[in-house]
Amino acid sequence: MSSGPSRHYSTGSPSDGTIPAEAEATGPAYNTLAPLLSMLARASEIPLQDLARRARCSPSYLSRILSGQRVPSWAITERLAKTCEADPAIVRKAWETEQLRRRPPRSTVDDRRDIDSLAGVSDRAQALRKLATALRTLHVRAGQPTPQQICVHSRWRLQAPQVTAILERDEPCDWPTLVLLLGILGGSPEYFRPLWQAATEHPPA
């Protein structure tokens, strides 16, 4: 299947202030599978009914897959890729990333243990490392969206250099910014607030 500029999503900042359709939220984190499958379906120009028949699923279920409401099995995903003349190996990576993103969150008991461990943290550098590690772990679980993808998903309330500084250079940010980032990556503000307070030396509310 040949690729051309019209078959790729734009992740640049829109000049008219609107958000590209591909940037619409599909869950607590950036869903890389649904936009990819949607792009392939549009590029193939195969009617939805025919595409669903070849993928061996109902048209309504296929619509939910393409909108990000459902994550299909690999068998359906592979049939969609082959029908659209895409490389299944490339699509497989996006499918596996989405499977990782959808894993159940850590238990409340595990979170409580981490929060309780902050009781003995007096060194700000150590607290910063704890916060940075937790954020990087959350980022991986979210499928490792790029800073640009996160910015698009935030509707440009976050900027790429800002996201890079938080995720890669362990630079603390203000609480509203962190809450916005957590909402995109699927993190719990309740879990992260004590980490942030210790790292920024803000007293508990």
- The residues spanned by each domain of the chain are 5-101, 108-200
CA 176 – CA 132 distance, rounded (Å): 17
Residue holding tokens 């499918």?
A: 95
What pLDDT tens digit does each residue of the chain (205 aa) get? 444 333 333 333 333 332 233 333 334 344 678 888 999 999 999 999 999 999 999 999 999 999 888 889 999 999 999 999 998 888 888 887 777 666 555 444 444 554 444 444 447 788 888 888 889 888 888 878 888 889 888 888 999 999 999 988 777 899 999 999 999 888 889 999 998 998 887 655 5
Q: What is the pTM of this model?
A: 0.46
Per CATH, is 5-101 categorized as 3.30.365.10?
Answer: no
| Cα-Cα end-to-end distance for the chain | 56
CA 138 – CA 136 distance, rounded (Å): 5
Taking CA atoms, 146 is separated from 23, 46, 84, 94, 170, in Å, by 13, 30, 26, 14, 16
